[in-house]
Amino acid sequence: MSHEIFGMPCKKSLNCTVMEEVFVLNETHSAANIFLAQLRDVEQQKDRYKFRNHLKKLGFLLGYELSKTLNYESNEIQSPLAQTAVSLPKKDIVLIAILRAAMPFCDGFLEVFEQASVGFVGAARRPFQKNEALQIDLSYAALPDLNQKTVILVDPMLATGKSTWATVEQLNQLKTADSVHIASVVAAPEGIALLKEKLPSSTQYWTCAMDERLNEKLYIIPGLGDAGDLAYGPKE
């Protein structure tokens, strides 16, 4: 089965080409809309356990959709009564979580890809003023072998795209990966546009919701706030 990339219709006026070749989970009505609604609701956000759990559920649902597009091969297994052929992914899966907000979301993907290896990257925005360029600090990386693997980079919020771009730029091993997927809970068109400009055309994009835009502070509108703080508590 060959790779398939989903082209989704563009609902908004901002750069319709940004939406091409991006899978958007909530473009089709499903239970995912319930979890997204609860993640955004300021009253529901007061419960950190529920917030983490909804991130995990969306990771599971998005991972399941992504799994449909992988390359598969036939394998023989022995049941208690007979041998039978099953189709399994041809390439090993590696998940890369951008700390700290990605942890619950990544756990959802692990429910789908149970035997996946997992890598971790620490990425954070530097403080910046209105007219300054946004800079990203990459303070930590712990990665398994990525050579000829299917790599899924997960981060709940894809805003400017600079954290993801900086991560990919630092991970030279990604050049030898078989395929690279970028997965988010909420994405902004500006961030997708930057990544499509900077990353190889073979990169595939997955999000649970494509939001309207970034505001002047480069936060996603309507968004859902700081996913890391809502999942684990405010930072010092």
Is 6 inside a domain boundary?
no
pLDDT for 100 equals 84
120: which 2 tokens?
Answer: 């971790």
Torsion angle of the four alpha carbons 193, 197, 200, 206, in this order, in degrees rounded to the nearest 10? 0
CATH number at residue 166: 3.40.50.2020
**Is the per-residue pLDDT at 107 higher than 70?**
yes
Percent over 90 (pLDDT), the chain: 70
Q: Which of 54, 44, 37 is nearest to 222 (CA)?
A: 37
pLDDT for 110 equals 98
pLDDT bucket at 11, cuts 50 / 70 / 90:
very low
**Is the per-residue pLDDT at 3 higher than 60?**
no
Is 10 inside a domain boundary?
no
User: Per-residue pLDDT tens for 172-190?
Assistant: 778 899 999 999 999 999 9
pLDDT bucket at 236, cuts 50 / 70 / 90:
confident
Across the range 230-234, mean pLDDT stands at 93
102: which 2 tokens?
Answer: 């990605």
Q: For residue 43, what is the DSSP state?
A: T
pLDDT for 165 equals 86
Lowest mean pLDDT among 26-30, 31-35, 65-69, 197-201: 197-201
Q: How far apart are CA 214 and CA 162, in angstroms?
A: 13
Report the number of secondary-structure helices (H) and strands (E) in the chain: 6, 12
**Distance of alpha carbon 182 from the chain centroid:** 5
User: Per-residue pLDDT tens for 34-61?
Assistant: 999 999 999 999 999 999 999 999 999 9
Q: Give the structural domain span for 43.
A: 27-71+89-127+134-232
**Is the per-residue pLDDT at 130 higher than 80?**
no
pLDDT bucket at 166, cuts 50 / 70 / 90:
confident
pLDDT bucket at 127, cuts 50 / 70 / 90:
low
- Count of domains forming the chain: 1
pLDDT for 122 equals 79
34: which 2 tokens?
Answer: 């319930």
**Burial classification of residue 173, based on how many CB atoms lie within 10 Å of its CB (0-12 exposed, 13-18 middle, 19 or more buried):** middle
pLDDT for 169 equals 79
pTM of the entire predicted model: 0.85
Is 81 inside a domain boundary?
no
Of residues 7 and 57, the one with the higher pLDDT is 57
**Is the per-residue pLDDT at 13 higher than 90?**
no
Q: How far is CA 80 from CA 49, 75, 77, 86, in A?
A: 41, 16, 10, 15
Is 35 inside a domain boundary?
yes
Of residues 129 and 201, the one with the higher pLDDT is 201
